[in-house]
């Protein structure tokens, strides 16, 4: 009796030929198809896009510079308030975009001009509401100050032109 009990303990989970075929399929055939599918998935993502090539012009366009450094002369004459207005401020203040006071609208500018030049300049340099900060950009703080005076005076204000900062 102990011999029969010993043989039954060593039987495996596969008892029929159908179970053997399924075990082989799941163990070998299924992983092969999974690997083929993964290889296809990975390689299909690396196909060149339409219009891209290794032509020198295409390569140059893909590796172009992100930014550049521009060294300006400290002795250059500062731009006028009108020039700065046309180049930086006019985009919004000419049409009154995003709630900005429209150039020449005395009623909209009066409360702002009443707060004084220093407050207007601080708002321009640091930004206010929808207006982004203007400091540190293409124009110097002095040039932005000139533009503030130009807009305020063009809209009924009587602000004095800021004095040019002394260069060291």
So what's the pLDDT on residue 18? Answer: 92
Residue 148 structural domain? 81-153
Band the pLDDT of 104: cuts 50, 70, 90.
confident
Band the pLDDT of 47: cuts 50, 70, 90.
low
pLDDT > 60? residue 143: yes
Do the domain assignments include residue 114? yes
Do the domain assignments include residue 16? yes
- Domain count of the fold of the chain: 2
Question: What pairs with residue 131 in β-bridges?
Answer: 128
So what's the pLDDT on residue 96? Answer: 82
Query: What percentage of the chain reaches a pLDDT higher than 90?
Result: 4
Do the domain assignments include residue 27? yes
Do the domain assignments include residue 149? yes
Band the pLDDT of 10: cuts 50, 70, 90.
low
**Taking all residues of the chain, what is their mean pLDDT, rounded to a whole number?**
81
Do the domain assignments include residue 70? no
Do the domain assignments include residue 94? yes
Whether 89 and 35 map to the same domain: the answer is no
Whether 28 and 85 map to the same domain: the answer is no
Q: What are phi and psi of 128, to 5 degrees?
A: -160, 130
Do the domain assignments include residue 29? yes
Both tokens assigned to 78: 């500062």
Do the domain assignments include residue 109? yes
Name which residue leads in pLDDT, 83 or 134.
83
User: Which among 102, 115, 97 has a CA at the least distance from the CA of 151?
Assistant: 102
User: Which among 139, 73, 148, 124 has a CA at the least distance from the CA of 162?
Assistant: 148
Give the residue carrying structure tokens 């250059």: 76
Among the listed ranges 42-46, 117-121, 152-156, which one has the minimum average pLDDT value? 42-46
What is the average pLDDT across 28-52?
A: 80
| CA–CA gap between residue 164 and residue 143 (Å, rounded) | 9
So what's the pLDDT on residue 74? Answer: 64
pLDDT > 60? residue 4: no
């Amino acid at each position: 009796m102990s011999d029969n009990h010993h043989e039954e303990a060593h039987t495996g989970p596969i008892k029929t030929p159908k179970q053997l075929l399924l075990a082989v399929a799941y163990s070998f055939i299924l992983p092969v198809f999974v690997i083929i599918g993964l290889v296809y998935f990975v390689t299909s993502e690396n196909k060149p896009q339409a219009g891209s090539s290794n032509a020198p012009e295409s390569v140059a366009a893909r590796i172009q510079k992100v930014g550049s450094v521009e060294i300006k002369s400290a002795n250059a004459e500062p731009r006028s308030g009108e020039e700065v207005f046309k180049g930086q401020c006019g985009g919004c203040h000419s049409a009154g975009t995003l709630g900005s006071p429209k150039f020449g609208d005395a009623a909209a500018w009066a409360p702002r001009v009443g707060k004084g030049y220093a407050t207007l300049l601080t708002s321009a340099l640091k930004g206010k509401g929808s207006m982004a900060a203007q400091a540190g950009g293409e124009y110097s703080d002095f040039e932005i100050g000139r533009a503030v005076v130009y807009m305020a005076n063009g809209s009924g204000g009587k602000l004095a032109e800021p004095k040019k900062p002394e260069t060291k």
